[in-house]
Structure 1
Amino acid sequence: MTSTRLTARTRALVAVLAGSVLTAAGLTTAAQHGSALGLTVERCSAAFTTYAWAGGFVTHVRVTTPQALSGGWVVEWMDVVPGTRPTQAWNATVTATPRQGTSYSGSEYTARYLAWNGSVPAGGAVEFGFQGTTSAAPRDPMGVRLNGEPCTGYVTPTEGWGGPPPSPTPTPTRTWNPTPPPTPTPTPSPTVLPTTTPAPTP
């Protein structure tokens, strides 16, 4: 009769193999359900800072990336204020395409890298800015993405809506008030007295 009993060494080996299988399965489950286990996936983080006035605005954008970018970058977002239009930009080429949604209308913005700033190290940031025109107060952007990946943590502080940007206080111009020369006092002309001719003696 053949014995089917396992030796202590065999049982220990089976236990180790079983534990490895369970550990691998647990890691796979954690990767698939990271949010349920309190794990976070590292994503880009975007911050929008906007100064706006009646009819126009200036926005500065900073997008931090956890991964290195070597082949260029593209930042996309949705502006839900209808009628916004970029007029100039720096550190990027910024374009806007009008979009009409079921619950909003606005413009889909795209910012592309320039020839000299397409590489960003891990933990670095993409920074650019642009100026534009608008018919309403700015609102928070929607769906910010870096190279197609969604970003988190973006905000849009808005200041000064309702009037034109403050103008610098002009430096007063000094007015030259020359002192007029004194009016000379006229010198009185001497009075010429007639010469009296003496009468002849008879």
Structure 2
Amino acid sequence: NALNAGGSTNPTTPPPVTPPVTTSPPPQTGAGCTATVSLNSWTGGYVATVRVTAGSSAVNGWTVNVTLPSGGAVTGAWSATNTGTTGTVSFRSVDYNRQITAGGSTEFGFQGTGTGPGATPTCTAG
């Protein structure tokens, strides 16, 4: 009786916590290309591997722009020709990997000092 004498109260429960929803842009489905980068980092440097993927049409030549953090620099590249070494660096296809079949991909890489790129690279076909 003593427990019931206090009246009735409903316990309150906080609303359930839901994780934040993150969305990424949809993959490119038309002509053109996309690029993704993966890093192998160590103190003071890194090696970046960049995958270039064609859209629904074949690609004949591509350019990938990568923005490096302040203080970072490209010290070497393979399977692409770079223009610039700091800030926004452009990498262009070379003769043996310029043609990518629709939906196909190729890779190139570069080594750098400092911290590797954090932003998604941009790819332009042609």
One of 86, 110, 135 as aligned partner of 2:90: 110
Q: Which amino acid aligns with 1:147?
A: A
2:59 equivalent to 1:69: yes
RMSD: 2.5
1:138 lines up with 2:116 in the alignment: yes
Do the aligned residues in 1 keep the contact of 2:76 with 2:111 (CA within 8 Å)?
A: yes
- Which amino acid in the other structure matches residue 58 of structure 2? A
Offset at residue 117 of structure 1 (A): 1.7
**TM-score, scaled to structure 1:** 0.43
SS at structure 2 position matched to 1:141: coil
Q: Give the counterpart letter for 1:63 in structure 2.
A: V
- 2:125 aligned residue: 147
- Name the larger-Rg structure: 1
Whole-Å separation in 1 of the counterparts to 2:28 and 2:51: 20
1:111 to partner: Cα distance: 0.6
Residue 46, structure 1, aligned to residue 35, structure 2 = yes
Contact residue 94 and residue 130 of structure 1 kept, 8 A: no
Match of residue 59 from structure 1: 48
Give the whole-Å Cα distance in 1 for the aligned partners of 2:89 and 2:85: 7
Contact kept, 8 Å, 2:62 with 2:123, in 1: the verdict is no
Runs of 4+ in 1 over 3 A off after TM superposition: 95-98
Count of matched residue positions in the alignment of Structure 1 and Structure 2? 98
Q: Which has the higher contact order (CA 8 A, sep 6+)?
A: 2
Deviation of residue 147 (structure 1)?
A: 3.0
Report percent identity of matched pairs. Answer: 36
Task: Give 1:46 shift.
Answer: 2.4
The answer for the alignment partner of 2:21 in structure 1 is: none
Q: Which has the higher helix share?
A: 1
List runs of 5+ in structure 2 lacking aligned partners: 1-26
Tell me, in whole angstroms, the C-alpha distance in 2 between the residues paired with 1:91 and 1:60.
Answer: 10
Q: Which runs of 5+ in 1 are unaligned?
A: 1-39, 99-106, 149-202
C-alpha displacement of 1:142? 4.4
- The one-letter code of the counterpart of 2:67 is M
